[in-house]
Amino acid sequence: MLHDLVIVGAGPVGATAALALADSELDVIALDGRAAGAIARGDRSLALSHGSRLILERLGIWADVAAEPDAITPIETIEISQQGGFGRACLNASEQELPALGYVVSYRALQAALDAALARAGRGIIHGVNVKGVSPRPAYAVVEASRDGGSLEYTSRLVALADGGSLVRGSTRRRHDYRQVALVGKVWPREPHRGVACERFTPEGPMALLPEGDHYGFVWTTSPARGEVLRSLSDEEFLRLLQESFGPCLDAGAAAVTPSFLRVEDRRTFPLALEFAREVVGARLVLMGNAAQTLHPVAGQGFNLGVRDAYELAQELLVTPRDEIGSREQLARYARRRRPDRLAGIGFTHGLLGIFGADASWLRWPRGLALTLLDALPIAKRAFARAMLFGVR
């Protein structure tokens, strides 16, 4: 049987693409190695922009995610500062006349809402299917997979790889290893966070506190060796160091206070690299989400780019005659459509790390100046807020 589209990997990005096509005439299936009701690689906090919210609203699942207690936390204020240097910028949703500057969303809750919406639409994900490879033929592609020890094959005009990057390797990808890890976890503050997110640039790398339900999700970028030490410290010692390294952060009343914490949970590290495919299309193939680009979490751009990959692919396929799906022309159109957004997201994230992530004391002064100007100039604030809301384009 020839499908129109086989989506490999129904994580949040693949499932978004499947849902965006659920009402169409197209024959679309989504395959995932995970079991029904499970998620890949544990829960985490996704930084969602207002633009991604609008897409999820259009697909009718924002309200489902929001119905889950603490699954979505609005970011009302973003405070940016640097350790050991002057300059501080503070962005406020009310100042920009917006309900929020962005959202922290639980991966588990988002995935559950997407899975349920697809099942309701009669387009349920085929679970437990481990894809081994994709081979192009002139008129279609063959997806080779296994399930319960048996081999399977699917043929499709087009295959969308949204597997998080597990199947795409090698010379078609560029990789920059930041030689750092992100230590992530949850901390419970003594005082309520009031929707304030704090980003602090330190000589070790950026640190962030993201409001999430009744606690903060934290991201601490550091060397792999120190990450291991921090991960295995006692809770008490870790909280003391986190507090010390973070330093003062704004509270909602705009007074700088050092946040203090009661409890820490779920400390984990993962390596940080920028990895992206030179081309997001191949023969009968498109790449989406982390399979197309894996970014440093510093600017919260990665997942939002993936949501736009999925939505834009669906929009492209909805206006493509069925027998042109997967053709060179259709693939070239999709690649052109995604190029500016991808390059801007990759360039912005990598550039930000070049200026703010480096341990170069001579950069402290220009960094401080940049933060002071950002704070003082309404036009700069609006541009930065726009980048947070809709991504850099």
Ligand X SMILES: Cc1cc2nc3c(=O)[nH]c(=O)nc-3n(C[C@H](O)[C@H](O)[C@H](O)COP(=O)(O)OP(=O)(O)OC[C@H]3O[C@@H](n4cnc5c(N)ncnc54)[C@H](O)[C@@H]3O)c2cc1C
The residues that touch ligand X, with contacts defined as CB under 6 A, are: 8-14, 31-34, 40-41, 44-47, 129-131, 162-164, 166-167, 184, 270, 289-290, 297, 300, 302-303, 306
Q: Closest approach of Cβ 67 to ligand X, in Å? A: 21
By C-beta, is 230 or 363 nearer to ligand X? Answer: 230
By C-beta, is 64 or 115 nearer to ligand X? Answer: 115
Reduced 3-state DSSP string for the chain: CEEEEEEECCCHHHHHHHHHCCCCCCCEEEEECCCCCCCCCCCCEEEECHHHHHHHHHCCCHHHHHHCCCCEEEECEEEEEECCCCCEEEEECCCCCCCCCEEEEEHHHHHHHHHHHHHHCCCCCEECCEEEEEEECCCCEEEEEEECCEEEEEEEEEEEECCCCCCCCHHHEEEEEEEEEEEEEEEEECCCCCCEEEEEEECCEEEEEEEECCEEEEEEEECHHHHHHHHHCCHHHHHHHHHHHHCCEECCCCCEECCCEEEEEEEEEEEEEEEEECCCEECCEEECHHHCEECCHHHCCHHHHHHHHHHHHHHHHHCCCHHHCCCHHHHHHHHHHHHHHHHHHHHHHHHHHHHHHCCCHHHHHHHHHHHHHHHHCHHHHHHHHHHHHHCCC
Backbone angles phi, psi at 222, to 5 degrees: -160, 180
Q: Closest approach of Cβ 96 to ligand X, in Å? A: 21
Q: Closest approach of Cβ 133 to ligand X, in Å? A: 9
d(CA 355, CA 374) in angstroms, rounded, equals 14
By C-beta, is 224 or 366 nearer to ligand X? Answer: 224
By C-beta, is 13 or 22 nearer to ligand X? Answer: 13
By C-beta, is 88 or 123 nearer to ligand X? Answer: 123
Q: Closest approach of Cβ 304 to ligand X, in Å? A: 8
Residue nearest to ligand X (CB): 11
Contact (CB, 8 A) for 174 and 21: no
Q: Closest approach of Cβ 347 to ligand X, in Å? A: 18
Q: Closest approach of Cβ 21 to ligand X, in Å? A: 16
Question: What Cα–Cα distance (Å) separates residue 244 from each residue in 189, 228, 237, 266?
Answer: 14, 18, 11, 20
By C-beta, is 48 or 91 nearer to ligand X? Answer: 48
By C-beta, is 88 or 301 nearer to ligand X? Answer: 301
Q: Closest approach of Cβ 217 to ligand X, in Å? A: 6
Nearest to 367 by CA among 79, 78, 84: 84
Q: Closest approach of Cβ 269 to ligand X, in Å? A: 9
Q: Closest approach of Cβ 253 to ligand X, in Å? A: 27
By C-beta, is 77 or 290 nearer to ligand X? Answer: 290
By C-beta, is 273 or 283 nearer to ligand X? Answer: 273
By C-beta, is 270 or 365 nearer to ligand X? Answer: 270
Q: Closest approach of Cβ 373 to ligand X, in Å? A: 27
d(CA 132, CA 91) in angstroms, rounded, equals 46
